[in-house]
Structure 1
Amino acid sequence: MNYRHIFHAGNPADVMKHAIMALILDHLRVKPAPFCVLDTHAGIGRYDLTSEAAQKTLEHEDGIARLFGAPAPHPALTPYLEAVAAINPDGVLRAYPGSPRIARAALRPQDRLVLSELHPEDVRTLRREFRDDPQVAVHETDAYVALKAHLPPKEKRGLVLIDPPFEQPDEFARMADGLAAAHRRWPTGVYALWYPIKERAAVWRFQDAVEKTGIRKILLAELTWHPEDTHLRLNGSGLLIVNPPWKLDETARDLLHTLHDALPTSGGGVSVSWLVPEA
Structure 2
Amino acid sequence: MLSYRHAFHAGNFADVLKHSVLSLCLEHLIKKDKPFFYLDTHSGAGSYSLSQSKAQQNQEFQNGISQLWQLTTFPTELQPYLTAIHALNSGKQLKTYPGSPLLVKQYLRDQDYMRLYELHPKDHEKLKTLFKKIQHVRIEQSDGFAALKSALPPHIKRGIVLIDPSYEVKTDYQTATKQLIEGYKRFNTGTFLLWYPVVQRGRVNYMEQQLRNSKVRNILQVEHCISPDSTEHGMTGSGLFIINPPWQLNSQLATLLPFLQEKLSPQYNRTIHRYLVPE
Residue 246 (1) aligns with residue 247 (2)? yes
- For 1:243, give the aligned amino acid: N
Counterpart CA distance in 2 for 1:229 and 1:41 is 26
Counterpart CA distance in 2 for 1:55 and 1:93 is 13
Quote how far apart the aligned CAs of 1:232 are.
5.8
Judged with a 3 Å threshold, the aligned counterparts in structure 2 of structure 1 residues 91 and 135 are, in CA distance, closer, same or farther, namely farther
Which residue is equivalent to 2:5?
Answer: 4
- Check the 8 A contact 1:12/1:60 in 2, yes or no: yes
Q: What is the root-mean-square deviation in Å for CA atoms of aligned residues?
A: 1.3
Quote how far apart the aligned CAs of 1:231 are.
4.3
Is the deviation greater in 128-137 or in 3-12? 128-137
- Check the 8 A contact 2:200/2:231 in 1, yes or no: no
- For 2:64, give the aligned amino acid: G
1:106 is paired with a residue whose SS is coil
Which residue is equivalent to 1:67?
Answer: 68
- Check the 8 A contact 2:199/2:230 in 1, yes or no: no
Which residue is equivalent to 2:187?
Answer: 186
Quote how far apart the aligned CAs of 1:229 are.
4.6
**TM-score, normalising length: structure 2:** 0.96
- Check the 8 A contact 1:226/1:265 in 2, yes or no: no
Counterpart CA distance in 2 for 1:182 and 1:271 is 24
Counterpart CA distance in 2 for 1:15 and 1:72 is 17
Quote how far apart the aligned CAs of 1:87 are.
1.2
- Check the 8 A contact 1:211/1:275 in 2, yes or no: yes
- For 1:249, give the aligned amino acid: N
- Check the 8 A contact 2:199/2:231 in 1, yes or no: no
2:106 is paired with a residue whose SS is helix
Judged with a 3 Å threshold, the aligned counterparts in structure 2 of structure 1 residues 231 and 107 are, in CA distance, closer, same or farther, namely same
- Unpaired runs of at least 5, structure 2: none
Judged with a 3 Å threshold, the aligned counterparts in structure 2 of structure 1 residues 265 and 227 are, in CA distance, closer, same or farther, namely farther
Which residue is equivalent to 2:148?
Answer: 147
Deviation digits for residues 160-218 of structure 1, max 9, x if unmatched? 00000011111111011111221111111100000001221110111111221210100
What fraction of aligned residue pairs are identical, expressed as a percent? 40
Q: How does 1:8-87 map to 2 (within 5 A)?
A: 8-71=9-72, 73-87=74-88
- Unpaired runs of at least 5, structure 1: none
- Check the 8 A contact 1:227/1:266 in 2, yes or no: no
Is the deviation greater in 36-45 or in 181-190? 181-190
Judged with a 3 Å threshold, the aligned counterparts in structure 2 of structure 1 residues 20 and 28 are, in CA distance, closer, same or farther, namely same
Quote how far apart the aligned CAs of 1:156 are.
0.7
- For 2:267, give the aligned amino acid: S
1:193 is paired with a residue whose SS is strand
